[in-house]
Copies of this chain bind each other. A is one copy, B any other.
């Protein structure tokens, strides 16, 4: 298979150039139909179908169809992500779309109410999976697997209020990479950050930064600031909003809604404004309060080691130790991280994008143990690529630039200038298919030549083979380049070889 990761930037550039056709090529017929699909879907989601009162034709709330245009963009992006996961030795796996309800309960904190439950039709109580991490932990415990490096690409479902404009849906795709097993500290953790860097660089989304912190530092900070232990998770969830809310609003929430003493909130405020490189780690080691907390010291020790490995990987400049990073999910136990785009990729004429984080993850050493009858732990660290947001960014860019995308890969079109050549066309196209060449023809007995050539131009097919009376008489096939409109006659018996030669050269 092609090494998509080989020189990621250049590979991606070449992918994009394959993917994108010049905006001047007009896009008609079936292709035009498709390019309107996304809008049609939205429209039909917004307004009920009035002609048939008893039955609205739509997709369920918060979901959508993926048109061929969407699929092409997705396929290219997922190929790049998966080839990076494979480059790091990960195995693929999959789990069912639904799990026993009890497998998922008490894993997601406040968000459990957002789960889709299945109707009780006489059997087990089931829920659609909410992420890929809990099913992975269940898999490890169930099969007593103590060590595994795996990736998993799949849909998950959450009953959130859909904010479709930012690319958030109730059904969405996740791309996870995780390393399970007991290893020497920070080596797998550093690899997770390396993977995030490789993917975000490879996708050419612009400059990015990965914020890093450690759950133990967060908890230690809470402890030394005087947060009661019972409030740790609630305050953690407030802190997690700092990327979307100003400090004064977060402070207000903590004090007024969550009953934190104002002076405790202010002490936290001093910490969460700190971010920097490895020197901030050193500085925190000297911090008079934090250095008194055993947990925080453990976290700081690991971060120091992590930065050492990140330097060896050549990515330390992409990483920022950020005390405001908290991560909402309950199950994290150690290092946590989140990648953000440094500049919204706004170019002339583009609307500003607010896409939030594009990748995130962390260490969760306790989750597998929750599924093990004897509580045996399997330490895990992993990451999730926010592919839906990435799809959205790439699609928006293409839309702004008016870039069209080929939704088929057809290489050769079989045409005729005369009537009554269906049989010859069928014979020719079968030869092409049997030789592995991607070929199409019109499903008409007697199509017009102009209609056939127009189909090639509108769908981006580069080559046409033409069979007509003259060609039949002379025992040749005409090969036409759609771009240059040049035609050459090739002996019937050589035409497949000639086409293969041309395709391999292009």
| Contact assessment for B426 and A150 in the assembled complex, using a CB-CB cutoff below 8 Å | no
Pick the 9 closest A-B CB pairs, nearest first. A6-B436, A51-B373, A183-B443, A68-B91, A63-B96, A89-B440, A71-B92, A52-B373, A117-B119
- On whether the beta carbons of B34 and A91 are closer than 8 Å, the reply is yes
Nearest CB in chain B: distance from A41 CB, A = 7
CA separation between A103 and B93, bound complex, in Å?
31
Evaluate contact between A184 and B445: CB separation under 8 angstroms.
yes
Bound complex: CA A58 to CA B371 (Å): 10
Question: Interface with B: A251-259, A280-288, A407-415, which one?
Answer: A407-415
Minimal beta-carbon separation of A63 from chain B (angstroms): 4
Query: Among the listed B2, B116, B141, B159, which residue makes an inter-chain contact with A1, where contact means beta carbons less than 8 Å apart?
Result: B2
Task: Establish whether residues B98 and A60, one from each chain, have CB atoms under 8 Å apart when the complex forms.
Answer: yes
Which single member of B36, B55, B68, B96 contacts A92 (CB below 8 Å)?
Answer: B68
A139 at the interface (CB under 8 A from B): yes
A68: which B residues are within 8 A, CB to CB? 91-93, 150
Q: Mark A81-121, 1 if CB is under 8 A from B, else 0.
A: 00000111111111111111011000000000000111111
Check A426–B65 contact: CB distance below 8 A.
no
Give me the interface of A with B, judged by CB distance under 8 Å. Answer: 1-8, 11, 29-30, 33-34, 36-37, 40-41, 44, 49, 51-52, 55-61, 63-68, 70-72, 75, 86-100, 102-103, 116-121, 123-124, 126, 128, 138-139, 141-150, 155, 157, 159, 171, 179, 181, 183-184, 187-188, 190-191, 194, 198, 309, 312-314, 371, 373-374, 407-410, 422-423, 426-427, 430, 433-440, 443-445
The quantity of this chain's copies bound in the complex is 2
Q: Please name the residue on chain B nearest to A30 by beta carbon.
A: B147
Q: Could you say which residues of chain B place their CB within 8 Å of the CB of A89?
A: 408, 410, 438-440
**B37 touching A143 by the CB < 8 A rule?**
yes
Q: How far is the CA of A67 from the CA of B55 in the complex (A)?
A: 41
B residues within 8 A CB of A100? 56, 58-60
| Residue pair B30, A436 in contact (C-beta under 8 Å) | no
CA distance A253 to B142 in the complex (A): 45
User: Beyond the given A59-B96, A75-B92, A86-B408, could you list 20 further A-B residue pairs with CB under 8 A, ordered by the A residue number?
Assistant: A1-B2, A1-B409, A3-B437, A4-B436, A8-B436, A36-B143, A40-B143, A40-B144, A57-B373, A61-B124, A65-B96, A68-B93, A88-B438, A97-B97, A97-B128, A121-B159, A190-B426, A194-B430, A313-B426, A314-B434
The chain B residue sitting closest to A504, CB to CB, is: B3
Residue A88 contacts which of B142, B159, B373, B433 (CB distance < 8 angstroms)? B433
Contact present for A423 and B312 (CB under 8 Å): yes
Q: Are B118 and A426 in contact (CB under 8 A)?
A: no
Specify which chain B residues have a CB less than 8 angstroms from the CB of A86 in the assembled complex. 408-409, 438
- Decide: A94 and B116 in contact? CB cutoff 8 A: no
Which of B51, B57, B430 touches A103 (beta carbons < 8 Å)? Answer: B57
Distance (whole angstroms) from the CB of A13 to the closest CB of chain B: 14
**Minimal beta-carbon separation of A71 from chain B (angstroms):** 4
Q: Roughly how many angstroms separate A169 CA and B241 CA in the complex, as a whole number?
A: 42
Chain A to chain B contacts (Cβ below 8 Å), 5 pairs: A2-B2, A37-B143, A67-B93, A89-B440, A91-B408
Q: Is the CB of B117 within 8 A of A93?
A: no
Bound Cα distance from A123 to B61, whole angstroms = 8
Question: In the complex, what distance in Å separates the CA atom of A128 from the CA atom of B63?
Answer: 13
Residues of B within 8 A of A407 (CB): 91-92
Give chain B residues whose Cβ lies under 8 Å from the Cβ of A445: 184, 187
Q: Which residues of B contact A409 (CB under 8 A)?
A: 1, 86
A371 touches B57 (CB 8 A): yes
- Cβ-defined contact, B142 with A443, below 8 A: no
A60, A67, A99 — which one has the most chain B CB atoms within 10 A of its CB? A60
Task: Give the complex CA separation of A45 and B329 in angstroms.
Answer: 30
B97, A145: Cβ atoms under 8 Å? Answer: no
Which residue of chain B has its CB nearest to the CB of A459? B89
- A434 CB to closest chain B CB (Å) equals 8
